[in-house]
Chain A
Amino acid sequence: MNQIDKAEENDDFSDWKWEITSGQKWFELGLKEVYAYRGLVLRFVRRDLLASYQQTIIGPIWMFLQPLLATLIYVVVFGNFAKIPTDGVPKILFYLSGTILWNFFFDSLSGTMYTFITNAHIFNKVYFPRLVMPVSNVATQTIRLSIQSLLFIIIYFFYVIVYDKFSLNISLLIIPFLVVLTAAFALGSGLIIAVFTAKYRDVDTFLQYVLRLLMFASPVVFPSSIVPLKFKFLFWLNPLTPIIETFRAVFFNQGAIQYNYLLIATVNVFILLVVGLVLFKRREIAVMDII
C-alpha cells in the first residue's frame, strides 16, 4: 500500500468521524441531517423570497395579484360562461380557495421534482444533504401560501360583515393540518419523481399532462357535488379532493367534513412521503453521475 508516511504505532484509527463508501443504508429518511442544516434551509428560503420579485415595480404585491387574476379568469370562464355551480358559495371565494391551494400544491411539487436538474450546478460542486433543497422550496411555498391567505381572509370577512354569511367554529383548527398534508403530498410525490426525471427526461414531459389532468381531477374549479356517482370513490381517493373540500366545508359551512376520506388521504400521503424520502436519500448522490 502506498503511503506518504508509514503508519506509526501510536496512530489511532479507532475514531474515524465519517466514512464514504459505495454502499448506502437501506432505510434512512435523512431528516436528522436536514435538521442539522436548518440554517441553510432558511437561507435558501430567504434567497427565493428575495430573488423572486427583483426588478419588478410592484414587487411582492404580485404574490396577491397572481391568484387574484387567476381567480377572476375562473369566475368569468367557469362561473359566468360555463355556468358551473359553486354550491351557493360566492364565486370569487370559491375559486380563490381552489386556486390558492392548487397553486401551493403545484409549486411545491414542481419545485421538488426538478431538484436535481435545477440544482445540478450546485450539487456538482459542493456537498450538503440534497433534501435541503426540496424542503426549503416547500417552506418557501408555505410562506407564500400564508401571505396569499391574507387576501382570502380579507375577502372572506368582507362577505361575513357585509352579507352576514358564514360562521367560523372550532373546526377551523384543522386548517394547519390541511396545509401540512398538502405539503407532504407534494414533497413525497415530488421526491419520487425527482429521482426518475434525473435519468429519464421522458418522465418530465409525460408529467406535464398528468399534472394538467390532476387539476381537473381535483375540485379546484368545480364542487365535488357535480362529479357523477360512479366516479365518486376514485375522485375522493385523490388526496387533494378531501383537502380542498374540507377547507371549503370549514369556511363555507357546507356539510360535514368527510373524515373517512381525510383519513385515507393521510395514510396514503404518509406512505408516499416515506417512500419518497427513502428513495431520495438512497439515490441523492448516485444520481449526480447520470444527470
Chain B
Amino acid sequence: MGNIVLRAEHLSKHYRLGKIGSGSFKEDIQGIWKNTFSSVKNKISPSTKTDVNDLWALRDVNFDIRQGDVVGFVGKNGAGKSTLLKVLSRITLPTLGSIKGKGRIASLLEVGTGFHAELTGRENIFLNGQILGMNKKEIISKFDEIVDFSGIEKFLDTPVKRYSSGMYVRLAFAIAAHLDPDILIVDEVLAVGDAEFQKKCLSKMKQVSTEDGKTVLFVSHNAQALKNLCTKAIYLEKGSLIDIGNTGDVISNYLKREQTLYLNKSFATPQDAPGNEFIKIKSVKVNPGYLDQHQIIDVRTPLVISFEFWYMPQGEINLGVSIILNTLMGDCIFDVDSPSVPFKPGIVKGECTIPGNFLNNGSYSVNFAFVKNTSSLLFEYEDSLSFDVEDYRENTAWYGDWPGAVRPKFNVNLMQTLV
C-alpha cells in the first residue's frame, strides 16, 4: 500500500449566487466596512443558517489518497464533483479547510486547453504541453510518441483550425496522455472521441495507473467506466461526502440511492383508489429479482410486474389487461395482453414477468390498460410505476451508449470455416 500523497481536510466551498451589479457593490462596501471596523468578523461555515443566495458546493469533505490509487468520483450533477476537482487543481480556492499533497499534480479538466486555432499542430503540441505543466525538454523527448498516438502526422504543419473535430480531440488527448505527473486529475474526457479512440484512451489511463504506479483522480458519469478503471471511489451528494471505499460497493450504494423508484402503489379502499365505475386499482407493483445484495436493477435483473384491482362489470363481458412499458421519452417498448376472459365482480389479480437481459438501460414507466371484449377501453392507468434500469457490462472495453430499444442476449455464434 502506497504512502498518502493527498489529504483533504474539512474542505468546504461557498459560492454566492445572484447577479453582480450595483447590489453586490453595496455588499462589497459593507463587507469591507464590517471587516475593518467591526469587532465581529464575518465568519461563515456550512452549518450556519444561510439565505437562498448562498450555495455550499462542498461541505466539510475529508479524505486521504494513497500513491497508486485510482480514485473515481461519483455523484449526480451538482453534487460537487467538478468543484472538488477545481479546488484540487488550484483553479478555485476552498472557502474553508485545506488540501495537502506531495508530488507534481496535473489536471485534465478539458482536452486541448489553450490550443490556438491559427497555429499548427506542431506549435500547439508545445503550447498545450507547456500549459499543462510539461517543460520543453520533456515535450521534445516525447514528441514522436505524441504524434504517433494521435495519428495526425500528415497534418502536423497545418493550422489546427483546419482539423476535423475528431483530429483535434485526438491531438489534444495525445498530449494529455503523455503528461507525466505524480497525480493526474481527469474530468469526463471519455465523453469525446469515437469508440476506437475512447478505447485507446481508457487503456492508456489504465496503463498509467497500473504500470507506472501513478495516482489518478477521475470523474465520470459513467458508472461502468469507473468500475472498470478505479480501485477506490468517493461518492458525493449535495457537496457532502456520502461514501468512500472499494469502487464496487460505493458505486452500488450510489446507484441504489439515486435510482428513482416507484416500485409499488397500493390503495386500502376503492374510494381512495384511481379508476372508474368498472375498475378500481388495489395495488400495482414491480418486484425485481435482484441478483446481489446491492439491490440494484440493472440490465440483467428480471422484473415481475403484479397488480390487483376491484372489478365491477356491468353485464356479461370479457376482460383483458394490457401492460404497456414506455421509456421516459414516451416511446413504447412493448404492449403485452392477457387473454380476454369473463370474471365475476370482486377482486382480480395478475402478474407478468419481464425476463432479465431484455431491457436496455434507461428509465421506464408502466401503464395498465383494461379492455372490454378485446375492443373497447374500460380504463387506462397511466404512469403507475416507474423504475430505472442501470447499465451492466462484462468483457468489453466499450462504454458508450448501448444502442437499441431493447437489449436481449441472443446468442451470436462464430465458427471458423477457413484458415
Please measure, in the bound complex, the distance between the C-alpha atom of A246 and the C-alpha atom of B99, giving whole angstroms: 52
Taking a contact as CB atoms under 8 Å apart, the answer to whether A21 and B90 are in contact is no
Please measure, in the bound complex, the distance between the C-alpha atom of A7 and the C-alpha atom of B7, giving whole angstroms: 11
How many positions in chain A have a CB within 8 Å of any CB in the partner chain? 43
Sample of 30 A–B contacts (CB below 8 Å): A2-B63, A3-B64, A4-B64, A4-B245, A7-B64, A11-B3, A13-B7, A17-B101, A18-B102, A20-B90, A20-B94, A20-B98, A21-B97, A22-B94, A22-B96, A47-B119, A50-B123, A51-B116, A51-B119, A55-B118, A123-B91, A124-B109, A125-B107, A125-B109, A125-B110, A125-B113, A126-B107, A126-B131, A127-B91, A285-B93
Query: Measured between C-beta atoms, what is the minimum distance from B279 to chain A in Å?
Result: 51
Taking a contact as CB atoms under 8 Å apart, the answer to whether B4 and A7 are in contact is yes
Q: Decide yes or no: A126 and B135 within 8 Å by CB, A4-B64, A4-B244, A7-B64 being known contacts.
A: no
CB closest chain-A residue, reference B113: A125
Taking a contact as CB atoms under 8 Å apart, the answer to whether A286 and B119 are in contact is no
Instruction: Determine if B167 is an interface residue (Cβ-Cβ < 8 Å).
Output: no
Set B66, B87, B123, B127: member contacting A20, Cβ < 8 A: B87
Q: Decide yes or no: A13 and B4 within 8 Å by CB, A20-B99, A21-B98, A285-B91 being known contacts.
A: yes
Instruction: Determine if A163 is an interface residue (Cβ-Cβ < 8 Å).
Output: no
Q: Which residues of chain A are within 8 angstroms of B7 by Cβ–Cβ distance?
A: 13, 16
CB closest chain-B residue, reference A285: B93
Taking a contact as CB atoms under 8 Å apart, the answer to whether B130 and A39 are in contact is yes
Taking a contact as CB atoms under 8 Å apart, the answer to whether B109 and A126 are in contact is yes
Set B107, B114, B245: member contacting A127, Cβ < 8 A: B107
Taking a contact as CB atoms under 8 Å apart, the answer to whether B113 and A4 are in contact is no
Q: Decide yes or no: A126 and B98 within 8 Å by CB, A2-B62, A39-B135, A285-B92 being known contacts.
A: no
Query: Measured between C-beta atoms, what is the minimum distance from A235 to chain B in Å?
Result: 33
Q: Which residues of chain A are within 8 angstroms of B62 by Cβ–Cβ distance?
A: 1-3
CB closest chain-B residue, reference A127: B90
Taking a contact as CB atoms under 8 Å apart, the answer to whether B20 and A199 are in contact is yes
Query: Measured between C-beta atoms, what is the minimum distance from B161 to chain A in Å?
Result: 10
Query: Measured between C-beta atoms, what is the minimum distance from A137 to chain B in Å?
Result: 15
Q: Decide yes or no: A285 and B90 within 8 Å by CB, A40-B130, A40-B131, A47-B119 being known contacts.
A: yes
Taking a contact as CB atoms under 8 Å apart, the answer to whether B15 and A16 are in contact is no
Interface residues of B in 38-72 (CB under 8 A from A): 62-66, 69, 71
Select the residue from B3, B92, B97 with max chain A CB neighbours within 10 A: B92
Instruction: Determine if A159 is an interface residue (Cβ-Cβ < 8 Å).
Output: no
Taking a contact as CB atoms under 8 Å apart, the answer to whether B241 and A2 are in contact is yes
Q: Which residues of chain B are within 8 angstroms of A2 by Cβ–Cβ distance?
A: 62-63, 241, 244
Taking a contact as CB atoms under 8 Å apart, the answer to whether A290 and B114 are in contact is no
Interface residues of A in 221-252 (CB under 8 A from B): none
Select the residue from A7, A22, A290 with max chain B CB neighbours within 10 A: A22
